[in-house]
C-alpha cells in the first residue's frame, strides 16, 4: 500500500508535505495531480521536504503526495547506449515525440524500451553456480558495445533455467535457485543512484587514460580510473577539448552529463555529439556514448539527479569490465542547485552561500571514480574516469566550487582564455595546470615508451618555466641583455609551445598523437636543444648557430603520420650526428 499525504507548502523546486507516514530520506514521491517526480531530502517532525525534479508551477497546497517507498533508482540494461536522456533518465526523443517541442510534466517513459527485442546469447548453463556480478550472457547492443548481462549484486545461486533468443528487457532470461528461493534475472536491473555500486577491490592507478592530446598525455596525464577538473571560461575551447577527449581517449564507453548549462550550449551538445565519428571504427561515436542532458531551464533539483544517474551508468558499464570516461559539464551548476535548495531549506549557509556540505558532496561524487576488480568470478577489471568541468564566475579559481573540486581531483587542466585569444589551442595553461598521477604512471611510460620519457617531460617543463622568468627580464632589459644560453632557452620554449603543445583538433593528422609519436617529437626538440648548446660551447655567435632548415622540419613534425614514425628516427640521427 502506498502512503498518501498532501502538499502543505510550495517553494519553487521545494515542496513541504504532511501526513506522509513512514517517509524516509531519499525515498521517491509523486506529487500533485500531475504526479511529478520528487525525492525526500529532509524530515522535520511532521514536515517532509521534497525536491522536485520537474517544474512545480501550478501545483497547489492540499494536492496529494504519494510515497513510493523506494529510493530514486534507474533502469540498467541494453538500450542505454546511443540514447539521450533527461536528468531522471527519461529518453528525450520519445518525450519530444509524444509532446512536441515542450516536455510535459509527470509523464512516465521507461528508460529502456519494452518494444526492442535483444538477441541474448547465454554464456552459462543449467547447474552452474553463480555469484553476484557473474555474467550470464551478452547482447550486441551496438556494433561497438557488447552488453554483458550480469547477476545483480543482491542475487546468487544455481542456474535452474537459462534461455537464449530474442527478448525484451523485462522478460526473464535466467532463473537462479538459492536455498529454495528463486531469483529471476532479466536483462534490465534497477539500482538506487545515490548508492555506489559494489565491487571487489579498488586497484592502484598505474595506467594512463590516453587521449592523443600532447599537452594532456605528456604533461598532465589522467590515470584510467582517475579524476580531472577543467574550468571553461567562455570561448576558451572547452567544447573542443571535451569532444577530443570523447573521440580519442582510450575509454570504451563515454558518458556525457550536461548539467545545467545554458539551453543553447546544451543544444550544441545534442546536435554536435551525434555528429561525431568514432575515429577507430568510422562509426558514429554515439554507438558507445550516452548523453544525459539537463539544461538550465530544467528545474534545479534535476541537476543533482543527472549527476547521480550519470555516475551510476558509468559504474554499471565499469562492472562489465569496461573503461568508462564520464564528463560532467558543469559541476558548478550542480553546486548552485545545492545552494538554492539549501537556502530554501533555511540551512546555515557556508562560504559564498553554498551549503557547508558542498565539500563532502563533491568529494563523494569523485570518490565513485576508480579502477576496480568487479564483482563476479572471472576476474574483470573496469574503470570509471571522471572529468568534471567547473565554471568559476569571472575565471576566479579561488571560489568555493573550484577550490572544493581541486581538493579532491588529481588533475587540473587550466583552460585559459588568454591563450585562446592568441589562438594557442588547446588553451591549457602549462604553468597553472598539474597532474598528481605522473609519478604513479611513470613506470607505464618507462616500460611502454622509453626510459627517458619522464626525463624529457621534466626538461620540457623546466624550459617552459624558465621562459616565464626570462620573458620578464626581456621586458625590462631587452633580448640583448640575455646570455646565449638563455636565448637558446627562449628559442626552444617557443618551439615547444608552437610545435609541440599547440595541436590542431581539425587537422586530420595533428588531431591525434600516439604516445610514441609524442615521445619522438620531444626527442627531436631535445636533440636540437643539445645541438645548440654544444655549438655555443664552441664559441660561435648565437645568430650563426641556428639551423632554419631544421626548424622548418620541426614545424612539420606534427603532420607526420603515425605510420611513418621512422621519419623521426632518421631526423634524430641527423640532429645528433652534428
DSSP code, position 10: E
- Work out whether 234 is an interface residue with ligand ADP (CB under 6 A): yes
In the complex with ligand ADP, which residue's Cβ is closer, 237 or 392?
237
By beta-carbon proximity to ligand ADP, the closer residue of 211 and 312 is 211
Nearer to ligand ADP, 234 or 559 (CB): 234
Contacts of residues 432-435 at CB distance under 8 Å and 24 or more positions apart, as own/partner, are: 433/215, 433/219, 433/220, 434/220, 435/219, 435/220, 435/221, 435/222, 435/228, 435/410, 435/411
- Asked if 244 contacts 504 with a C-beta cutoff of 8 angstroms, the reply is no
The least distance separating ligand ADP from the CB of residue 239, rounded to whole angstroms, comes to 3
Stretch in the footprint of ligand ADP (CB under 6 A) among 5-13, 94-102, 104-112, 232-240:
232-240
Query: Mask of contacts with ligand ADP, 497-536, x by CB under 6 A?
Result: ------xxxx------------------------------
Residues 458-497 as x/- pattern, contact with ligand ADP by CB under 6 A: ----------------------------------------
- Given the complex with ligand ADP, which of 218 and 440 has the nearer CB atom? 218
CB of 503 to ligand ADP, least distance (A): 6
Q: Binder to ligand ADP among 153, 232, 342, 400 (CB under 6 A)? A: 232
Regarding 267 and contact with ligand ADP (CB under 6 A), the answer is no
The least distance separating ligand ADP from the CB of residue 237, rounded to whole angstroms, comes to: 3
Nearer to ligand ADP, 176 or 219 (CB): 219
- The minimum distance between CB 153 and ligand ADP, in angstroms, equals 38
**How many Cβ atoms sit within 10 Å of the Cβ of residue 355?**
21
Three-state DSSP class for residue 103: coil
Q: How far is the CB of 235 from ligand ADP (least distance, A)?
A: 5
- Cα 251 from Cα 229, distance rounded (Å): 17
Pairing of strands 64-71, 135-140: unpaired
- What's the rounded Cα separation, in Å, for the pair 310 and 300? 16
Give the separation between CA 488 and CA 494, rounded to whole angstroms. Answer: 10
At closest approach, how far in Å is the CB of 132 from ligand ADP?
42
At a CB cut-off of 8 Å and minimum separation 6, what does 29 contact? Answer: 17, 20, 23, 38, 39, 40, 50, 65, 66, 67, 68
Nearer to ligand ADP, 143 or 504 (CB): 504
Paired residues of 40 in beta bridges: 50
Q: Are 371 and 202 in contact (CB under 8 A)?
A: yes
Looking at the Cβ atoms of 32 and 212, the one nearer to ligand ADP is 212
Q: For ligand ADP, which is the closer residue by CB, 203 or 240?
A: 240
- How many Å separate Cα 165 from the centre of its chain? 35
CA separation for the pair 390, 370 (Å, rounded): 20
236 binds ligand ADP per the rule CB under 6 A: yes
Contacts of 272 by beta carbon, 8 Å cutoff, 6+ apart: 239, 243
Place of cell 509523486: 30
Measured N-to-C along each axis, helices 515-537 and 484-495 cross at an angle, to the nearest 10 degrees, of 160
Task: Look at residue 190 and give its three-state secondary structure.
Answer: strand
* The 3-state secondary structure of 443-485, one letter per residue: HHHHHHCCCCHHHHHHHHHHHHHHHHHHHHHHHHHCHHHCCHH
Provide the mask over 420-459, with x wherever binding to ligand ADP is found by CB under 6 A and - wherever it is not: -----xx---------------------------------
- The C-alpha R_g of the chain, in whole angstroms, comes to 27
Largest Cα–Cα distance of the chain, in whole Å?
A: 92
User: What's the half-sphere exposure (Cβ side, CA atoms, 13 Å) at 252?
Assistant: 21
CA torsion sign for 92, 98, 101, 105 is: negative
Supply the minimum distance, in Å, between the C-beta of residue 278 and ligand ADP: 19
Residue 237 makes contact with ligand ADP by CB under 6 A: yes
**One character per residue 63-102, x = contact with ligand ADP (rule: CB under 6 A):** ----------------------------------------
Instruction: Choose among 420, 511, 501: nearest CA to 232.
Output: 420
Smaller CB distance to ligand ADP: residue 228 or 532?
228
Q: How far is the CB of 414 from ligand ADP (least distance, A)?
A: 13
Stretch touching ligand ADP by CB under 6 A, among 19-27, 108-116, 238-246, 555-563? 238-246
CA 202 to chain centre: 19
- Binding residues for ligand ADP, rule CB under 6 A, total 14
Q: Which of 19, 142, 146, 239 binds ligand ADP (CB under 6 A)?
A: 239
Considering the complex, state which of residue 239 and residue 429 has its C-beta at the smaller distance from ligand ADP: 239
Residues 259, 329: Cα–Cα separation, whole Å: 5
Binding mask of the shown chain, residues 319 to 358, with x at each position contacting ligand ADP by CB under 6 A:
----------------------------------------
Q: At closest approach, how far in Å is the CB of 230 from ligand ADP? A: 10
Least distance from ligand ADP to the Cβ atom of residue 332, Å: 14
Closest separation in Å from C-beta 348 to ligand ADP? 35
Q: How far apart are CA 272 and CA 195, in angstroms?
A: 32
Of the residues 58, 235, 263, 353, which one makes contact with ligand ADP according to CB under 6 A: 235
Write down the least CB distance from residue 504 to ligand ADP, Å. Answer: 5
Whether the CB-CB separation of 119 and 164 falls below 8 Å is answered with no
**Minimum CB distance to ligand ADP smaller for 299 or for 426:** 426
Smallest gap from residue 238 Cβ to ligand ADP (A): 4
**Which C-beta is closer to ligand ADP: that of 50 or that of 246?**
246
Min dist CB 110 to ligand ADP, Å, is: 33
Binding site for ligand ADP (CB under 6 A): 232, 234-240, 425-426, 503-506
Amino acid at each position: 500500500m502506498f502512503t498518501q499525504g498532501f502538499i502543505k507548502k510550495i517553494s519553487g523546486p521545494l515542496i513541504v508535505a504532511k501526513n506522509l507516514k513512514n517517509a524516509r530520506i531519499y525515498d521517491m514521491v509523486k506529487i500533485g495531480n500531475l504526479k511529478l517526480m520528487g525525492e525526500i531530502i529532509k524530515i522535520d517532525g511532521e514536515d517532509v521536504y521534497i525536491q522536485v525534479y520537474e517544474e512545480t508551477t501550478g501545483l497547489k497546497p492540499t494536492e496529494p503526495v504519494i510515497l513510493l517507498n523506494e529510493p530514486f533508482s534507474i533502469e540498467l540494461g541494453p538500450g542505454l547506449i546511443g540514447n539521450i536522456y533527461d536528468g531522471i533518465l527519461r529518453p528525450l526523443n520519445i518525450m519530444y515525440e509524444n509532446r512536441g517541442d515542450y516536455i510535459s510534466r509527470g509523464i512516465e517513459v521507461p528508460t529502456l524500451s519494452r518494444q526492442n527485442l535483444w538477441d541474448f546469447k547465454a554464456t552459462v548453463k543449467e547447474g552452474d553456480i553463480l555469484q553476484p556480478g557473474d555474467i550470464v550472457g551478452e547482447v550486441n547492443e551496438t556494433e561497438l558495445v557488447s552488453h554483458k548481462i550480469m547477476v545483480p549484486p543482491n542475487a546468487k545461486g544455481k542456474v535452474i533455467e537459462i534461455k537464449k533468443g530474442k527478448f525484451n528487457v523485462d522478460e526473464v532470461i535466467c532463473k537462479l535457485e538459492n536455498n529454495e528461493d528463486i531469483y529471476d534475472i532479466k536483462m534490465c536491473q534497477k539500482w538506487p543512484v545515490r548508492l555506489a555500486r559494489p565491487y571487489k577491490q579498488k586497484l592502484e592507478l598505474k595506467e594512463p587514460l590516453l587521449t592523443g592530446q600532447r599537452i594532456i598525455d605528456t604533461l598532465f596525464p589522467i590515470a584510467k580510473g582517475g579524476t580531472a577538473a577543467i574550468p571553461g571560461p567562455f570561448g576558451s575551447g572547452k567544447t573542443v577539448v571535451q569532444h577530443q577527449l570523447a573521440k580519442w581517449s582510450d575509454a570504451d564507453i563515454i558518458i556525457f552529463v550536461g548539467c545545467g548549462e545554458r539551453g543553447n550550449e546544451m543544444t550544441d551538445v545534442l546536435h554536435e555529439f551525434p555528429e561525431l565519428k568514432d575515429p577507430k571504427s568510422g562509426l558514429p561515436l554515439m554507438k558507445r556514448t550516452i548523453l544525459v542532458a539537463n539544461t538550465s531551464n530544467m528545474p534545479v533539483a534535476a541537476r543533482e539527479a543527472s549527476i547521480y544517474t550519470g555516475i551510476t551508468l558509468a559504474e554499471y558499464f565499469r562492472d562489465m569490465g569496461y573503461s568508462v570516461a564520464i564528463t560532467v559539464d558543469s559541476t558548478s551548476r550542480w553546486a548552485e542547485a545545492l545552494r538554492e535548495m539549501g537556502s530554501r531549506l533555511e540551512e546555515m549557509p557556508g562560504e559564498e552561500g553554498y551549503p557547508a556540505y558542498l565539500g563532502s558532496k563533491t568529494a563523494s561524487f569523485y570518490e565513485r571514480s576508480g579502477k576496480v576488480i568487479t564483482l563476479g568470478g572471472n576476474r574483470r577489471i573496469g574503470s570509471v574516469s571522471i572529468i568534471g568541468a567547473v565554471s568559476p564566475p569571472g575565471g576566479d579559481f579561488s571560489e568555493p566550487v573550484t577550490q572544493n573540486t581541486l581538493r579532491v581531483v588529481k588533475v587540473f587542466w587550466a583552460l585559459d582564455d588568454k591563450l585562446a585569444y592568441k589562438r594557442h589551442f588547446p588553451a591549457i595553461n602549462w604553468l597553472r595546470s598539474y597532474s598528481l598521477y605522473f609519478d604513479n604512471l611513470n613506470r607505464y611510460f618507462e616500460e611502454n615508451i622509453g626510459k627517458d620519457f619522464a626525463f624529457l617531460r621534466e626538461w620540457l617543463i623546466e624550459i617552459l618555466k624558465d621562459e616565464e622568468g626570462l620573458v620578464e627580464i626581456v621586458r625590462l632589459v631587452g633580448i640583448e641583455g640575455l646570455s646565449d644560453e638563455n636565448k637558446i632557452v627562449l628559442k626552444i620554449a617557443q618551439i615547444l609551445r608552437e610545435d609541440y603543445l599547440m595541436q590542431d583538433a581539425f587537422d586530420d593528422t595533428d588531431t591525434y598523437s600516439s604516445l610514441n609519436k609524442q615521445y619522438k617529437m620531444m626527442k627531436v626538440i631535445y636533440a636540437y636543444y643539445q645541438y645548440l648548446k654544444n655549438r655555443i660551447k664552441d664559441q660561435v655567435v648565437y645568430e650563426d648557430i641556428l639551423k632554419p632548415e631544421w626548424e622548418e622540419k620541426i614545424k612539420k613534425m606534427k603532420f607526420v603520420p603515425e605510420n611513418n614514425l621512422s621519419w623521426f628516427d632518421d631526423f634524430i640521427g641527423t640532429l645528433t650526428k652534428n
